[in-house]
Amino acid sequence: MSNDTSDSSVVSGLKSWKILIPIVLGLGVTGIMFYREYEPGIFDTMQITAWSIVWIILSFMMMATRDVGYMLRLRILSDKELSWRQSFRVIMLWEFASAVTPSAVGGTGVAVFFVNAEGISGGRSTGIVMVTSFLDELFFAIVFPIAVLLIGHSNIFDFSSDIGSHLMYIAWIGYGIKVTYLLLLSYGFFINPQGLKKLLVLIFKLPFIRRWSSAIDKIGNDMISTAEYFRAWSFTKWIKAFAATVASWIARYWVVNTLIVAFLGMDYLGLTDHFIVFGKQLAMWIMMLVMPTPGGSGFAEWVFSECFANLSISVMALALCWRIVSYYPYLIMGAIVVPKWVKRILNNRKNDSKAE
């Protein structure tokens, strides 16, 4: 398959109408569960004050901090070849792709195309996206077991019901997938990139995945060049990139903390409670990895209600607020950015063709 064909398939796949799928799934599940759980006076404990507005604004600022962290990481990984504006564009497109594709797929597959379209060579684009994945998985591999050890399984899920124990099993399965992926990337980046390429090529000779063998061969070559480049990095650069990763994920997770404080007051959560909320979100995000729905829609709202069922307000109302802050804005931004971006890319392609 030619690059032009591959690129056009990526562009044509970014249809803005796809935002309807996760919206309908998410709002549908939220509406059904809210209807089943509604009781008169359920909102009476929600403290809507001027401070509530401040904390809601702070929740949006947390998401902005998360995006700035990701933009900073792209700038570091590209040696500042990507401007802040270009980095913003890539992140918005990346998040939009993640929002309209199954969580098990995510937007990583098309992220290479986004970075490449901003002027970074194909091999380096693949390398940058691989390293972002490596840093993300490294964060989860380190933080999740520490959180479970300090917080305890029973504080993350209610083990008095079968649902709680089943959800914890799913979380550990997702964690195992992430660690396996991290080990493969680590082996390819730092130990034996040629060996990993040979292994991948061998695996993709299997009949049911043979169609992707040529793509895997190219990815293997890109990994070899990526390993050579990033292994020459200083320890300081790696620390900066990982620090940006940690800041991004922590900011994303603190959205729920700020929303709980907004509706229940500053005294509702003690210091320990804030860390428990953080641990619950770690587990939730890992579980969303194995979900087949776009952006984890439907499942995310349901598992949120299971994690925070002990709150003294409508947990489904809080879940809806959480998704409004942390998920739906990317669908809206994607619907705005994607058409302009696609038009610009197609115009550039036409101009390049005329020049030739």
Question: In the predicted model, what is the mean pLDDT of residues 178-207?
Answer: 84
What does the pLDDT read at residue 6?
47
Residue 291 has pLDDT above 90, yes or no: no
Tens of pLDDT, residues 75-96: 999 999 999 999 998 998 888 8
Residue 33 lies in a domain: no
Above 80 in pLDDT, residue 298? no
The span from the CA of 141 to the CA of 174, in Å, is 11
Which one is predicted more confidently, 187 or 309? 187
With respect to residue 144, please indicate whether it lies within any of the assigned structural domains: yes
**Residue 163 structural domain:** 43-355
Assigned domain for 14 exists: no
- At residue 100, the 3 state secondary structure works out as coil
3-state secondary structure of 309: coil
Q: What per-residue confidence (pLDDT) applies to 322?
A: 85
DSSP 77-143: HTTT-S-HHHHHHHHHHHHHHHHTSBTTT-SHHHHHHHHHHTT--HHHHHHHHHHHHHHHHHHHHHH
pLDDT averaged over the chain? 78
Tell whether 35 is covered by a domain. Answer: no
Q: What is the pLDDT of residue 41?
A: 57
Q: Which two tokens stand for residue 5?
A: 């064909």
pLDDT given for residue 2 in this prediction: 42
pLDDT surpasses 80 at 311: no
Band (296; pLDDT cuts 50, 70, 90)? low
Between 351 and 284, the higher pLDDT residue: 284
Asked, for residue 1, whether it belongs to a domain, the answer is no
Residue 355 has pLDDT above 60, yes or no: no
Instruction: Please indicate whether residue 7 or residue 44 has the higher confidence score (pLDDT).
Output: 44
Instruction: Tell me, yes or no, whether 18 lies in a domain.
Output: no
Non-local CB neighbours of 70 within 8 Å, separated by 6+ positions: 87, 91, 244, 248
Report if residue 193 sits inside a domain.
yes
Name which residue leads in pLDDT, 349 or 215. Answer: 215
Please report whether residue 128 resides in a domain. yes
Tell me, what's the pLDDT at 315? 75
Output the pLDDT for position 196.
Answer: 81
Does position 288 have pLDDT exceeding 80, yes or no? no
- Which pTM does this prediction carry? 0.81
Contact by Cβ (8 Å): 94, 114: yes
Task: Check residues 243 and 266 and name the one with the higher pLDDT.
Answer: 243
Total structural domains within the chain: 1
